[in-house]
Amino acid sequence: MKNYVSASILSADMLNLEREIRRLEESGVDMLHFDVMDGVFVNNITYGLPVLQQVRKATGMTLDVHLMITDPLKYVKNFADSGADIITFHTESESDAKETVRAIKACGVKAAAAIKPGTSADAVCDILPELDMVLVMTVEPGFGGQSFIESTVDKIATLRRRIDSLGLDCDIQVDGGINYDTAPVVRKAGANVLVSGSCLFRADDLTEAVRSIKG
């Protein structure tokens, strides 16, 4: 199983986003993680479609869009048209999960479902065969720079066993509090797409940081 690192631009220098993207391209990062928050599903508001369109114009990197919004189904096509390569929605949102997966795939984009730290792995059971990726949140969604929640590790392992026993080709992404100490723990449990924001953007040597997190 191949490991990937997805850089969360929530921690990037927004006034110099293009420069940050160039730095990430040179660092060996595999994807850009784009956190969309609507101030209702989570207590924070970030950026949306116009910024994604600009980022799409600026880079050929895989754009991994994490929707922390109340009704993701309503916006799937807009995010696909704006350049997303992967669209992740939350199972705790108000949209029907099966319909949302189908809508994402109908746009020719990879589909992923996210679960918050308190949500059981069972929440993605029914849709697992249709998913390209499951996102196990390792902090409460809403803010960068939080501490990793240990109790999510067992859930990663449970999902990895389920995916492997069904013979599915489905990545497990983790997001929140991923750093040099927690990356080996989540990789061992079976995660292979590691999102990192504050740890990467704080690093003196970005290339070395990416290499360390990727394992």
Catalytic residues: 35, 175
Residue 126: CB atoms within 10 A of its CB come to 12
Q: Is 20 in the site for ligand DX5 (CB under 6 A)?
A: no
Residue range at the interface with ligand DX5 (CB under 6 A); choices 21-29, 134-142, 162-170, 206-214 = 134-142
Strands 62-68 and 110-115 turn out to be unpaired
Q: In terms of CB distance, is 140 or 165 closer to Zn ion?
A: 140
C-alpha 38/C-alpha 93 separation (Å) is 12
Q: 185 is written with which tokens?
A: 């723990």
C-beta separation of 167 from 128 below 8 A:
no
| Of the candidate residues 5, 27, 32, 35, the single one contacting Zn ion (CB under 5 A) | 35
Q: 127 is written with which tokens?
A: 């849709």
| Of the candidate residues 195, 206, 209, 210, the single one contacting ligand DX5 (CB under 6 A) | 195
Convert residues 36-75 into a mask of x (bound to Zn ion by CB under 5 A) and - (unbound): ------------------------------x---------
C-alpha 20/C-alpha 18 separation (Å) is 5
Q: Which residues sit at the interface with ligand DX5, rule CB under 6 A?
A: 8, 10-11, 33, 35, 66, 139, 141-146, 175-178, 195-199
